[in-house]
Amino acid sequence: MTTILGPNNYGKSRVRLVRVARHPDRHDIADLTVDVALAGDFDAAHVAGDNSGMLATDTMRNTVYALARGFDVSDLERFGMRLVEHFVSASPKVSRARIGLVAHPWERLRAAGGAPHEHAFQRGSGGDRVATVAGTAGGVEVEAGIDGLVVLKTTGSGWEGYLHDEYTSLAETDDRIMATEITARWTYGSTDVDFTEAWHAIRGVVVEAFGDHYSPSVQFTLRRMGEAVLEARPEVERITFSLPNKHHLLYDLARFGLENDHEIFHATDEPYGLIEGTVERAPVPGGAPSENGIAAARPTRV
């Protein structure tokens, strides 16, 4: 039997990094999980057990901590670019590096009188900030996103007019609870971006768009949120959502002789509907730049 080695990579996953920036008047904290993956000419290690030129994964972990010293790692994309630049030059065998980053939010506690505490925190909410930076010595690709952003509206949503067949049991409604846990990923047209400002602004647009309309379906809301981001943020080329439908079912109290006028619901975990999709800018004929300066035919990579 003859075999060949296909695409492969290796790295260090779930490197837990906490950095405290100590200012005279306050401390800032950044809490990250970092994944490192390297690709390149690793055939000898797989075929002959020759590890020469191979960077140890333990070294990758140490590098993450060393390069975080004195650097604002809360700017995920910039820190990811710093790591990619280092790893693609660390060994001649490495041709490409991919860095995955997740920032776990912390919020300041309130001191006496209501002022933000200078060095005490509680776990934040509202979703994790995520980024993936991948590239070679010639440049990088940057993707940012949100994980675990749980949103709900108690009305302003329905589900009607869908296909009915012999197995349909769900009743149509024009008034239901709509809830989901937003996972979003978007790509930028360049690295000339204030990534931290952009992330907070895009998150704000997504949240506002979720609640600013009557939703006849999760699909409709997915498109609405994507269009709102692309309209508000010209540096974003496309955005992809994964939206599980976190069902809240009106509970049947009639069997107990009680009315239930959209008051009591049963929240279910599974099974659940899953709606996914990408909203992107329409191609410009010939691939010419659109009015906002972003090439619309394919992503601009740097």
Catalytic residues, by residue number, are: 12, 57, 247
How far is it, in rounded angstroms, from Cα 5 to Cα 143?
Answer: 29
